[in-house]
Amino acid sequence: MFSRERKTPIAEWWWTIDKSLLAALILLLLVGVLLSFAASPPVAERLGLGPWHFIIRQAIFAALALPVMIATSFLPRRPARLLALAVLVGSTILLWLTLVLGVEVKGATRWVSIAGNTVQPSEFVKPAYAVIGAWLFAESMKRPGVPARSIAFLLMLVIVAGLLLQPDIGQTALVLATWGALLFLSGISWVVIFGLGATAVGLLFAAYAFFPHFAKRIDTFLNPEGGGNTYQVDKALGSLLEGGWFGRGPGESMANKIIPDAHADYVFSAAAGEFGILFCLCLVALIGFIVIKALIGAQQQQSLFARLAASTLAIQFGLQCSINLAVNLSLMPPKGMTLPFVSYGGTSMLAIAFGMGLMLALTRKKPEERLASGLPVYRSGVLSPAE
């Protein structure tokens, strides 16, 4: 099946995919299932569900996410772009629909119910926007006449407006960061970068001024003893400290039984209590490997679109991970950000699988780079340049 003799799609996929990246992603998915054993039973019991509730669902979602990721990674560039476009259009519409039809959970309207399942459209918007945004930026770099950047900017505004109305500061920040990453990668001058950086700071202050729950979190972070609600953070840190280097062993941690969101945002801390800080360091290394490997893979792409899209997806993934880790380690004020593939959440897992699938698809080594002639293949005219 994987023979090089006949050029079957599977063989081609197998010889061009970044196998270490794929393996690392699958490993992360499995770690997520493993950690759900540690983190989720106390939460499930608190919610009056069976202890296996979240574990079973996490396993099912992981089982669904894997084929989604692999199937997406099969896509050549053009179909990948088309799919991303379809997903972007669909999820943006759903995103705005949530404001009308959505279900309110914990003070925010982020979910819509489709055929009995609640879906969080904002999760799918992120990777789709990264790909389409990359395409638009690539087009504008190649053909300056086309107002592609402006389109990307407008698209971002549409999405961000919808997210802010939910409100969902975390996802807003990620989409903004995605746009910022595209600007940066597409070669914006450093002057503007610092200008935009200043704007970002300004936006943070604006958020502080206009969103009370955001302001409260910042206050509490800056002054933990000030009487604010630092319950989650305290418990998360408690779990980390309790575990020490080697952890207390599976099922032995006491602290993770009282972390409120142990299965979602705070899964990392909960894991630390049971498996120890060394394990957590390995997990961070795994995530870091995925991000760096994907970025290197993106760098080697000849196609500008693929390079931009793959690196943007990697940056998005890396940012989400680092924000979650920073919150877990009290390096940052709490922010509703899940740890990709590890935290519980069906939509988010499938969306990340979709995004990672696209990333894998776009970091595949193209056959032209495999020729040993030394000449770029597109010069020979055998293959049309992908750009």
Partner 1 sequence: MAILSEVAETISLDGGRKSRGNLTKARIRWVIVALVLVFGTVGGRLIQLGATVTDSTIEGVARDVITASRPPILDRNGLEMAVDIRVPSLFAEPRRIVDVEEAVQKLRTVLPDLNEDWLRNRLTGDKGFVWVKRELTPAIQERIYQLGIPGLEFVTESKRFYPSGKEASHILGAVNIDNQGTMGIEKHMDDDSLAVLQSIGIARDTDLTPVSLSVDLRVQHVMYEQLQDALVRYKAVAAAGVMMDVKTGEIVALASLPDFDPNNPSTLFQDYNGVKNDRFNRITSGIYELGSTFKTVTLAGALDSGKVRITDEFDARFAVRFGRFTIDDFHGKHRVLSVPEVFKYSSNIGTIKIMQELGKDEFRDFLTKIGMDRTVPFELPEMRKPKVPDKFSEIVAATSSFGHGLSVSPLHMVRAVAAFVNDGYMVPPTMYKRDEAEARQLYEPVISPSTSAEIRYLLRLNAIGAGGSGSRMNKIANGYRVGGKTGTAEKVVNGRYASNVNFNVFASAFPLDKPRYAMVIIVDEPKAENEQTGVTAGWNAGEVTGRIVQRVAPMLGIAPDFGEMLDQNLVPVELR
Residues near partner 1 (CB under 8 A) are 140-142, 144, 149-150, 181, 184-189, 191-192, 225, 227, 229, 231, 237, 240-242, 244-245, 254, 258, 277-278, 280-281, 284-285, 287-288, 291-292, 295-296, 298-299, 302, 304, 307-308, 311, 315, 318, 322, 325-326, 329, 331, 387
Which H helix or E strand runs over 66? Answer: helix 53-73
C-alpha to C-alpha distances, 352 to 136, 205, 258, 359, nearest whole angstrom: 22, 30, 28, 10
Integer-rounded Cα Rg, in Å, for the chain is: 22
Rounded to a whole number of angstroms, the minimum distance from the CB of residue 105 to partner 1 is 19
Identify which of residues 7 and 213 has a Cβ nearer to partner 1 in the complex.
213
Distance CA 305, CA 152 (A): 14
Q: How far apart are CA 72 and CA 137, in angstroms?
A: 22
Q: CA 262 to CA 267: how far, in whole Å?
A: 5
- In the complex, minimum distance from the CB of residue 236 to partner 1, in angstroms, rounded to a whole number: 11
Task: Classify residue 2 by its DSSP letter.
Answer: -
**d(Cα 179, Cα 156) in Å, to the nearest integer?**
7
**Residue 15: CB minimum distance to partner 1, A:** 24
Distance of CA 262 to the CA centre of its chain: 19
Which is nearer to partner 1, 111 or 341 (by Cβ)? 341
Give least dist CB 61 to partner 1, A: 25
CB 230 within 8 A of CB 216: no
Q: Minimum Å distance from CB 101 to partner 1?
A: 31
- Nearest to partner 1 of 273, 357 (CB atom): 273
Nearer to partner 1, 294 or 350 (CB): 294
Q: Is 326 exposed, middle or buried (0-12, 13-18, 19+ CB in 10 A)?
A: middle
Choose between 55 and 352: whose C-beta lies nearer to partner 1.
352
Minimum distance, C-beta of residue 29 to partner 1, in the bound complex (Å): 19
For partner 1, give the closer residue by CB, 12 or 234. 234
